[in-house]
Structure 1
Amino acid sequence: MPAIKAAPLLLGQHLVRLTEDGEIRCRIVEAESYGGAEDKGSHAYGGRRTNRTDVMFHTGGTAYVYLIYGMHHCFNIVTAEKNDPHAVLIRAVEPLTPRDAQLMAAYRGTAIRKPSDLSGGPGKLCRALRIDRSLNGLRLDQPGGPLRLESGDDPRSLPIVQAARINIPYAEEYAGLPWRFYIRDNPYVSAHDSKAEPFIWTENRP
């Protein structure tokens, strides 16, 4: 499935991380789509296939984890068929229970003054869930796996908005496209855009 269709469908779904301290369960509340070889914001723009981007060319349902600035991991979900490099960057999650929030805060290892400090942003999310390159290439549909996706809320029941993606000026005419989707007013979202528009579900669009 193209990333632009997959991203809103991922909102409300549960992301489960198995750690040495037990499972952490959270809900996806913000996702950003990267639309394959034609998207100038994508690592795979122009069909670029390197050791880093190879996972993007795997079958949908695979984890793509990379490192930025030499210190922050980012977690993506590959969404399309093999050799069609679409991926959705998961930008924010919301813990499902106080225990989940407590474990995530312990892994973050810093003061949490507001919800978005915990898991609002790709790097914060990965630190809170202990996601790193060791999970790159992992299938996310394995029951009992160390990182997996499970059904959560019906995304059509959620107040979803769409806005421009964040920090990709190099994407030129693709930089301003409204390919970031999030749950309106959710406090865990990394950045609320005053120009965000309601996402409208249609028959031809997921």
Structure 2
Amino acid sequence: MPNFMARLFRPFMTSTSLGISSTEAAMNVPDGAQKCTIAAGCFWGVEHMYRKAFSGKGLYDARVGYIGGDAQNPSYRAVCSGNTGHAEALQVIYDPTKITYRQLLEFFYKMHDPTTSNQQGPDRGSQYRSGIFYENEEQKSIAEEVTKLANEKWWKGKIVTEILPAGEWWDAETYHQKYLDKNPGGYECPSHFLRNFGSLE
């Protein structure tokens, strides 16, 4: 199949200025929705924790996928090989009048270990790296500020999280979406739990 045809029929193909997928767009995501893209290890647990924390509080959708690599239309198997350069990641589509980008990033630094390079718990490889992928200069500034404060107050100067411009996003295969809702006994990375940290203010 020619490359442009493969992209045309790729599930959840990006189709809006926000990079929201065609499936998300079909869900009538309201105007003004914003996007937060983060990587924090095995994406099953990351998605599960964000949905649990923010559903009904301004979260429109959360979708697992791949970002930060070079290959087109990467598969889970290819990403897990470490050869594509992608990270397992989460995109949160949210209402900025109910949730702030800063709140989502503070949660990010509480729910995983940002001090291990290319690793979360027993999961090792570049696909499990910690990263924030910003959409604009405002998000970059907030990400840098939150990271600096979390590093000083919570993680004792050990944070290795990447802060990078968001490149092309690829939705993960359908069976990965809401995986732990569908498989309650499924694997959860032991580094994914909410730390009892104080405020960053």
On whether the aligned pair clears a TM of 0.5, the verdict is no
Select the structure that is richer in helix: 2
Q: TM-score, normalized by length of structure 2?
A: 0.31
